[in-house]
Structure formats: structure tokens, C-alpha cells
């Protein structure tokens, strides 16, 4: 297609707009180059689109009838354009068919995937409901077991507290009894100590009196001094041994009482009243020498 044919195919509005733009560009280029623009270009650039349309309508030559060759060329051109359009349409149809098939396949896949996902969702929901039921059942069982354990623990704690209170009361009672027994035993021990001290003092006094009496008797009976002194000393030593034996027996008894008390961790002594009476009531030995012998 020639340029003239292309221009002839333009609409009046498109032709006027293009003409005005070209004329304005030409005038601007001439002025920029320092030249005087062509009067027709300047006039075309100064017209509006509507003025250019009217000017073309009045000044354009009458359209000429195309020749047979022009008609054949135009028909060939139109047929080629139609072939190209048909080919493009067929290609577009094939592309659309392929795209539709792909879309249908994808839609089928998506539908199958959606169905599978829906089935999985239903299965998951059923599993979740089952798990929730199981959790609720386990929670109820756990709550019941916890309540039972708490009840049993409370009962055991109450019983343990009662046992502890009873044991504490019994321990306090035993402690009070042991305290009283220890006090009583301590009193008896002090009495025994006082008795032993008294017996020892009496024995020492009698021994001293015996010695003094023996010395006076020796002075009076100077003539039989050797025999009387030997006899007196023998008698005195015998009585001293008896007194020491008595003191040792009392000390031994006292140590036995102390030993039993330490062995039982401050338990009260278990000596009977007869034993204590036997120790406290035993008469001390007589240290008076038999001067008439």
C-alpha cells in the first residue's frame, strides 16, 4: 500500500490532527533553524482541526473511480488481509482450545485436589473430634483420680496428725514421768551420798578415837606395851578394814546405780526399795577395841 493510499484511508479527524501536528513541527523546526517557514505550513499550523477538515472538504479534488488494476490490487490486498486474519483466528482458536484443555485439566486436578483436601479436612475434623473426646475422657479420669488422691491424702494426713498428736502426748507423758523418776532417783542418790559421807565421817572419828584411846591405854599399861599394842593394832586394823569394806560396798552400790542410769540414757534407777533399805539401814561396824580380851 502506498503512502497516498494510507492517507486516503484515514478519517477526516485523524487526517486533520496529523496534518496540524506535522505543520506545527515543521514551523518550529524552521524557526529553530532561523528560516522563514512556508506560508502554507504556517497557515496549517494556525488552523484548528475542524478548520482543516472544512478546508479539505472544500479544496480536495473529487474522488477518482479506481481502475480495474487498482480494484484487483485492492481485492488481492483485502484477500491477503482476510487470509492473515483467518490464519490468526485459527491460531487463536487452537491456542484457545489448547488453553481450554489445559484449563480443564488444571480445573480437574484442582477439583480432585479440592475433593482430596475436603476429604482430608473431614478426616482431620473427625480425628480432632475423636481426640477431643479422648482428651475430655482422660481429663475427666484424671480429675477423678486427682480428687480421689486428694481425698485419700487428706484422710492419711488427718490420721497421721492424730497419730502424731497421740505420740506427742504419750511422749510428753513419758517425758514427765521420766523427769519425775529422774528427780526421785537424784534425791535417792543424794541421800546415799550423804549417808556414805556420814558413815565415812563416823568411821574416821571412831578410828581416831580408837587411836587416841589406844595411845592412852599404852601409857597406862606400859608394862604390857608390846603385847597390848600388837593386839590393839590388829583389832584396829581389822575394824578399819571392815569400815573400808563397808564404805567400798556403799560406793559400789552407788556406782551400780549410776551405771544403770547412764546405760538407759537417763532412765530412772531400777533399784528396789529393799536394796536401798538394805544399804541405808545396814549398821556401821563397831570400832571399839576389846580391851578386856
| Collapsed DSSP state (helix, strand, coil) of residue 35 | coil
pLDDT at 65: 62
Contact 184, 177 (CB under 8 A): no
Report the pLDDT value the prediction gives residue 255, as an integer from 0 to 100: 83
* CA separation for the pair 207, 241 (Å, rounded): 11
All 3 cell numbers of residue 96?
484457545
Per-residue HEC secondary structure of the chain comes to CCHHHHHHHCCHHHHHHHHHHHHHHHHHHHHHCCCCCCHHHHHHHHCCHHHHHHHHHHHCCCCCCCCHHHHHHHHHHHHHHHHHHHHHHHHHHHHHHHHHHHHHHHHHHHHHHHHHHHHHHHHHHHHHHHHHHHHHHHHHHHHHHHHHHHHHHHHHHHHHHHHHHHHHHHHHHHHHHHHHHHHHHHHHHHHHHHHHHHHHHHHHHHHHHHHHHHHHHHHHCHHHHHHHHHHHHHHHHHHHHHHHHHHHHHHHHHHHHHHHHHHCCCCCCCCCHHHHHHHHHCCCCCCCCCCCC
* Residue keyed to cell 560406793: 251
Length in residues, the chain: 293
| Cα→Cα distances 227→64, 129, 230, 236, Å | 204, 126, 5, 14
Q: Which three cell numbers stand for residue 277?
A: 533399805
Q: What integer pLDDT is reported at residue 199 of this predicted model?
A: 84
Please work out, in degrees rounded to the nearest 5, the angle formed at the alpha carbon of residue 103 by the alpha carbons of 97 and 105.
Answer: 105
Confirm if 289 and 205 have CB atoms less than 8 A apart: no
pLDDT in tens, the chain (293 residues): 566 767 777 888 999 999 999 999 999 999 999 988 889 889 998 999 999 999 888 876 555 566 778 778 877 888 888 888 888 888 988 888 898 889 888 888 888 888 888 888 899 889 999 998 888 999 898 899 898 888 988 888 988 888 888 888 888 888 888 888 888 888 888 888 888 888 888 878 888 887 787 677 767 767 776 777 788 888 888 888 888 888 888 888 878 887 755 555 444 444 444 544 444 455 555 544 454 54
Q: Return the pLDDT at 274.
A: 53
Amino acid at each position: 500500500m502506498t503512502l497516498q493510499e494510507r492517507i486516503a484511508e484515514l478519517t477526516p479527524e485523524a487526517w486533520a490532527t496529523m496534518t496540524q501536528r506535522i505543520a506545527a513541527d515543521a514551523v518550529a523546526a524552521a524557526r529553530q533553524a532561523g528560516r522563514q517557514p512556508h506560508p502554507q505550513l504556517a497557515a496549517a499550523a494556525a488552523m484548528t482541526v475542524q478548520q482543516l477538515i472544512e478546508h479539505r472538504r472544500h479544496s480536495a479534488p473529487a474522488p477518482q473511480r479506481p481502475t480495474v488494476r487498482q480494484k484487483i490490487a485492492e481485492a488481492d490486498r483485502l484477500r491477503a488481509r482476510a487470509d492473515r486474519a483467518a490464519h490468526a483466528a485459527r491460531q487463536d482458536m487452537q491456542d484457545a482450545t489448547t488453553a481450554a484443555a489445559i484449563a480443564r485439566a488444571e480445573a480437574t486436578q484442582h477439583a480432585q485436589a479440592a475433593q482430596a483436601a475436603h476429604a482430608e479436612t473431614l478426616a482431620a475434623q473427625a480425628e480432632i473430634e475423636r481426640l477431643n473426646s479422648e482428651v475430655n475422657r482422660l481429663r475427666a479420669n484424671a480429675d477423678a483420680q486427682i480428687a480421689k488422691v486428694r481425698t485419700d491424702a487428706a484422710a492419711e494426713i488427718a490420721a497421721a496428725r492424730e497419730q502424731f498428736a497421740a505420740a506427742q502426748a504419750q511422749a510428753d507423758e513419758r517425758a514427765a514421768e521420766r523427769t519425775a523418776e529422774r528427780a526421785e532417783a537424784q534425791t535417792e542418790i543424794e541421800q546415799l551420798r550423804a549417808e556414805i559421807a556420814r558413815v565415812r565421817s563416823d568411821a574416821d572419828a571412831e578410828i581416831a578415837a580408837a587411836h587416841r584411846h589406844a595411845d592412852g591405854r599404852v601409857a597406862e599399861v606400859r608394862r604390857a606395851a608390846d603385847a597390848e599394842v600388837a593386839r590393839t593394832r590388829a583389832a584396829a586394823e581389822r575394824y578399819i578394814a571392815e569400815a573400808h569394806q563397808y564404805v567400798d560396798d556403799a560406793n559400789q552400790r552407788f556406782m551400780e546405780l549410776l551405771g544403770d542410769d547412764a546405760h538407759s540414757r537417763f532412765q530412772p534407777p531400777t533399784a528396789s526399795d529393799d536394796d536401798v533399805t538394805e544399804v541405808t539401814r545396814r549398821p556401821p561396824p563397831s570400832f571399839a577395841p576389846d580391851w578386856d580380851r
